[in-house]
Structure 1
Amino acid sequence: MRFKPSKPYTVGLELEVQLVDSFTFELTEKAYTVFEKASERLSAVLHKEFLQSMVEIVSPPCSSSEEAVDILREAYGEVRRIGEEEGFYPILLGTHPFANPCEIRITRDRRYERLLEEFQIVLRNFLIFGLHIHVGVETEKQLWEAYNVTLKYLPLFVALSSSSPFYKGKFTGLHSYRLKVFEQLPRAGVPEQFFSTDEFEVMFNVLKNSGFVDSIKDIWWDVRPRPDFGTIELRVCDAIPDFNRIEAVADFFRLLVAWSSGKRVERFYHQVVKQNRWNAVRHGLEGMFIDSDGVENINSRIHWLVEEFDREGLLDRLGIRADNLYNILSGYPVSYRMIKAYEKGESLRKIVRFGLAE
């Protein structure tokens, strides 16, 4: 498996958008309409997805998170304008709050049909929508340093992006139920540690030679190394209905990747990472983070890291919009507002509106 270097700390974003009827707020199979009416500019960044009621907006590699988010924002705006004409809204939430999976159709595609044949009801329950972030690295050493540090700090990104407290018409009691749906797949969830491309390739070839995967795309871990792209890919985030928050989360990831360079990568317990991830899924920013030096609040760990990044001059070095980063990290993701509205008696149909980005 050959490593292909990237320009360090470049960023690419992939945002999954659900399409809901503007009257009923049910998922509506309008992806084909979006592709049909898309301008040439939108078509360049628009991808089909598993469901006929979703599309994906994918930025090219960009020099900054702000640049990548501007591309997403512009594309989302055009999808929204198409929706105004065609009777749907583009929604950015990790789950649809009340849709019934039995009523949803998948996109006609050989790969999707093959996956559905293999995973059956598990895949039919996949009414989930995420944000994926690629960050470029220049060397193999940087890739595996970034991979292991990101693996340790996955729960922080769960807590910063949570937008899926409802599923199939019920309040789940969690901030990010999307992850509990996704981890049902055999090659999803929290991966193990790897320290080299050779080590990763041995594991990958066992799966490939056994006929269970064709490419790295068939591995859906919360964080995925891409030696073939020269990127580290963060896949744990819910879709976020706030483009400033998307920028801040992407910047936080870029900073973490840069900070990890040259850091001694420790071995840590897989079960501890899973526990920390659960703490974030269940309690959001108030969840607890277990580390070798004790236990602290996830929100406190986020702010400790930002101070570390700043001390090392990384915000200036990467051209981070510090005002946006600090503003977003001092607030709460949309799951908090969704839960509060529900506790006040708001209907789930109205709560869907929290996924409309401006």
Structure 2
Amino acid sequence: MKFNPSLPYTVGLELEVQLVDSFTFELTEKSDSVFQNASKSLLKVLHKEFLQSMVEIVSPPSKNSFEAVKFLKDAYFEIKEIGSKEGFYPLLLGTHPFTNPLEIRITRDKRYEKLLNEFQIVLKNFLIFGLHIHIGVETEKELWQTYNLALKYLPLFVAISSSSPFYKGKFTGLHSYRLKVFEQLPRAGVPEQFFSTDEFEKMFLTLKYAGFVEALKDIWWDVRPRPDLGTVELRVCDAIPDFDRIEAVADFFRLLAAWSKDKKMERFYHQVVKQNRWNAVRHGLDGVFIDGDGIENINSKIHSLLEEFDRSGLIEKLGIRADNLYNILSQFPVSYKMIDEYRKGNSVRDVVRYGIVE
């Protein structure tokens, strides 16, 4: 497996967008309408997805998060303009709050049909939508340093991106139910640690020779190393209905990648990462983060890392919009607003509007 270097700390973003009816807010199969009405510039960043009621916006590799987010933002608002004429809204939430999954049609595609045949009802329940963040790395050593630190701290990214407390018309009691749906697949959820491309390749080839994977895209972990692209891909975030927050989350990952460069790769317990992840899924920013022999509130851990990044000069070095980073990470993600709305006596249908960006 060849490693192909990237420019360090460059950013690529992938955002999964729901398409919902303008009146009922149910998922609606309008992806063909988006492609038929899209401009040439939109078509360059637009991809079909598993459901006919969703599309994916994929930015090109960008020098910073602000630039990558601009591609997403421009594409989103063009899709919204198309929707105003075609009767739908583009929605950015980690799950659809109330649509029945069994009523949704799958995009006709050989790969998707093969996956559906294998995973059956598990895949039919996949009304889930995420944000994936690629960060470029220059060397193989940096790839695995970034991968391992991203694995350790992935619960922090769950907490700052959560937008999926509702599913099938019910309040789940969680901040990110999307992750509990996704982890039902094999090759999904929290992966183990790897310290070299050779070690990772041996695992991958074992699965490939057994006939279960064909390419790296058939691995769906929360954090996915991409030696072929020279990136580490963070896949744990819910779709986020706030472009400033998307930028801040991507910048937090850029900072973690840059910070990891001088860190010794350490071993940590897989079960501790899983527990920390659950704490973020269930309690959001109020969850507990286990770090070594100590524990810390997730929100406090985020801000202690921010202080470390600032002291090391990385925020300035990477040209990050510090005011946006600190402002966004001092606020609650949208899951809190959705839960508050529901607890005031409003219906699950009332929370859908939080996923529409104005």
Taking structure 2 as the reference length, what is the TM-score of the superposition? 1.00
CA distance in 1 between partners of 2:47 and 2:55 (Å):
6
**Is 1:135 matched with 2:101?**
no
SS in 2 for 1:115: helix
CA RMSD of aligned residues (A): 0.5
Counterpart amino acid of 2:155? P
Structure 2 Cα separation of the partners of residues 345 and 129 of structure 1: 26
**2:66 corresponding residue in structure 1:** 66
2:213 aligned residue: 213
Paired residues in the alignment total 358
Q: Give SS of 2:123's match.
A: helix
5+ long unaligned stretches in structure 1: none
* Matched residue, 2:2: 2
Q: CA deviation at 1:173?
A: 0.1
Residue matched to 2:305: 305
Q: What amino acid is the match of 2:28?
A: T
**Counterpart amino acid of 1:111?**
R
Quote how far apart the aligned CAs of 1:352 are: 0.5
Question: Distance in 2 between the 1:329 and 1:348 partners?
Answer: 26
3-state DSSP of counterpart to 1:131: strand
CA contact (8 A) 1:142 1:262 kept: no
User: In the aligned structure 2, how far is the partner of 1:226 from the partner of 1:38?
Assistant: 30
Matching residue of 2:255? 255
Q: Tell me the equivalent position of 1:242.
A: 242
Q: SS of the residue aligned with 1:233?
A: strand
- Identical columns (%): 78
1:19-55 superposed Cα distances (whole Å, 9 cap, x missing partner): 0000000000000000000000100000000000000
Task: Give how far 1:293 is off.
Answer: 3.8
Question: Which residue does the alignment assign to 2:153?
Answer: 153
Match runs of 1:105-254 below 5 Å: 105-254=105-254
Q: Counterpart of 2:333?
A: 333
Structure-2 separation of matches of 1:293 and 1:357: 42
State the AA in 1 paired with 2:128.
I
Alpha-carbon distance in structure 1 between the residues aligned to 2:357 and 2:251: 19
Per-residue deviation at 1:345?
1.3
Distance in 2, Cα, partners of 1:289 & 1:214? 36
Q: Secondary structure at the match of 1:27?
A: coil
List structure 1 runs of 4+ shifted beyond 3 angstroms. none
Partner SS for 1:245: helix
- Once residues 111 and 4 of structure 2 are traced to their aligned partners in structure 1, the CA distance between those partners, rounded to angstroms, is 26
Aligned partners of 1:223, 1:292: CA distance in 2, in Å? Answer: 21
Cα offset for 1:230?
Answer: 0.1
1:262: how far off?
2.3
Take 2:25 and 2:173, find their aligned partners in 1: how far apart are those partners? Answer: 22
**What is the match of residue 286 of structure 1?**
286
Deviation larger for 260-269 or 14-23:
260-269
Q: Alpha-carbon deviation of 1:348?
A: 1.8
Structure-1-length-normalised TM-score = 1.00
User: Take 2:89 and 2:336, find their aligned partners in 1: how far apart are those partners?
Assistant: 22
User: 1:238, CA displacement in angstroms?
Assistant: 0.1
Q: Where do 5+ consecutive residues of structure 2 fail to align? A: none
1:343 maps to 2:343: yes
CA distance in 2, matches of 1:83, 1:350: 20
1:318 equivalent in structure 2: 318
2:46 partner letter = L
Give 1:346 shift: 1.4
Q: Which residue of 2 aligns with 1:296?
A: 296
Helix, strand or coil at the partner of 2:94: coil
**SS of equivalent to 2:12:** strand
**Secondary structure of 2:63's aligned partner:** coil
The SS at the match of 1:44 is: helix
2:251 maps to a residue whose letter is: D
- Equivalent AA in structure 2 for residue 235 of structure 1: R
Q: Deviations over 1:273-309 (max 9, x none)?
A: 0000000000000000001140010000000001111
- How far apart, in 1, do the equivalents of 2:120 and 2:290 lie? 36
Q: What is the alpha-carbon distance in structure 2 between the residues aligned to residue 269 and residue 22 of structure 1?
A: 47
Q: 1:96 corresponds to which letter in structure 2?
A: H
Alpha-carbon distance in 1 for matches of 2:10, 2:72? 16
Partners of 1:304 and 1:49 in 2: how far apart? 38
Distance 2:348 2:167 in 1: 10
For 1:202 and 1:212, how far apart are their aligned partners in 2?
14
Map Cα deviations across residues 323-353 of structure 1 (whole Å, 9 max, x no partner): 0000001000000000000001112222111
